[in-house]
């Protein structure tokens, strides 16, 4: 039996100020943990996602522990293949633990492949990560959305992530939406992830992220994943940022999420087709997790091993 004492932090990611952004717990493992144990921990911590980091050397002998890490994410209900805010939080946690220096970059290996993260050299609490963008496929939206929203979306899409995306007219009060109530009314596949987005008027009154005014805003509902509303969603911004880049004819756009907690990020489209997200985070608490598991219970973590080449 392990002693059950593991470093753990809670970081609010994509937060421009304290008590803003999206909370993510980050736990540093000493050995591969079983999925059932990680799911139980995530269920008790009740954050949108809890991230579990494991030195890659525990999976691939000869890999330096400080060099690369395996990373998995769990909502209170299930494991997910990609999570932006908990990846940002993981980078900041590694910096807090002295395992990632300012200005340095490392790869975190996940079910979605290797994700490059780095800490800002000039500003504490800032980091960036590179996420894949699944691409949007035009698609009719479920007819129920017109009734639930009280407005007809301008257009809609689906994505390989399983998210539905709806572009709403500018007059819709997205910031005033009761996301929790709407999430409870969703039915069918749309419960796995619904992005509601709209342009922000260039009026000078837009929220700012790292000093840049936001170009668009979105809300993200995912009751099928155990999250009525995710406060700030990196994977959703990585998904829609290329569309906004095309609309605005720029390679950098700023997204805002007007959930009750609020937060945002700067999104840069890279030549590879990946999206770089720049954001800030706030350390909320720092402690030790006391919950053991039998070493023999650990499942196969090969999903996080680097591929050939």
Residue of 49, 79, 229, 268 marked catalytic: 49
Terminal CA-CA length for the chain: 36
Please give the structure tokens belonging to residue 66. 């400080």
Separation CA 109–CA 54 (nearest Å) = 10
Separation CA 25–CA 113 (nearest Å) = 21
Containing H/E element for 38?
helix 35-45
CB 22 within 8 A of CB 233: yes
Antiparallel, parallel or unpaired: β 113-119 and 105-110: antiparallel
Q: Catalytic annotation on 49?
A: yes
Radius of gyration of the chain (CA): 19
Q: What are phi and psi of 47, to 5 degrees?
A: -90, 165
Question: 3-class SS at 22?
Answer: strand
Which residues are known catalytic residues? 49
């Amino acid at each position: 039996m392990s002693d059950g004492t593991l470093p753990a932090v809670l970081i609010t990611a994509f937060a421009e100020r304290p008590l803003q952004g999206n909370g993510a717990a980050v736990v540093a493992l000493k050995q591969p943990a079983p999925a059932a144990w990680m799911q139980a921990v995530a269920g008790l911590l009740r954050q949108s996602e809890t991230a579990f980091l494991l030195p890659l050397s525990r999976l691939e002998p000869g890999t330096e522990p400080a060099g690369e890490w395996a990373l998995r994410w769990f909502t209170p209900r299930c494991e997910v293949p990609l999570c932006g805010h908990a990846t940002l939080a993981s980078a900041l946690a590694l910096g807090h633990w002295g395992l990632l220096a300012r200005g340095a970059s490392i790869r975190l290996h996940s079910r979605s492949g290797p994700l490059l993260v780095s800490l800002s050299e000039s500003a504490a609490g800032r980091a960036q990560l590179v996420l894949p963008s699944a691409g949007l496929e035009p698609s009719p939206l479920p007819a129920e959305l017109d009734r639930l929203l009280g407005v007809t979306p301008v257009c809609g899409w689906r994505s390989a992530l399983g998210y539905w995306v709806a572009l709403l007219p500018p007059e819709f009060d997205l910031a005033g939406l009761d996301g929790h109530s709407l999430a409870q009314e969703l039915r069918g596949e749309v419960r796995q992830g619904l992005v509601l987005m709209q342009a922000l008027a260039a009026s000078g009154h837009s929220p700012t992220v790292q000093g840049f005014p936001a170009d668009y805003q979105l809300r993200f509902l995912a009751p099928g994943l155990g999250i009525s509303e995710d406060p700030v969603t990196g994977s959703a911004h990585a998904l829609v940022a290329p569309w906004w880049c095309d609309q605005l004819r720029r390679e950098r756009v700023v997204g805002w999420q007007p959930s009750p907690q609020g937060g945002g990020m700067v999104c840069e489209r890279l030549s590879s087709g990946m999206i770089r997200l720049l954001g800030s985070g706030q350390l909320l608490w720092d402690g030790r997790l006391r919950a053991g598991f039998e070493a023999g219970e650990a499942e196969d973590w090969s999903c996080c091993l680097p591929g050939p080449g």
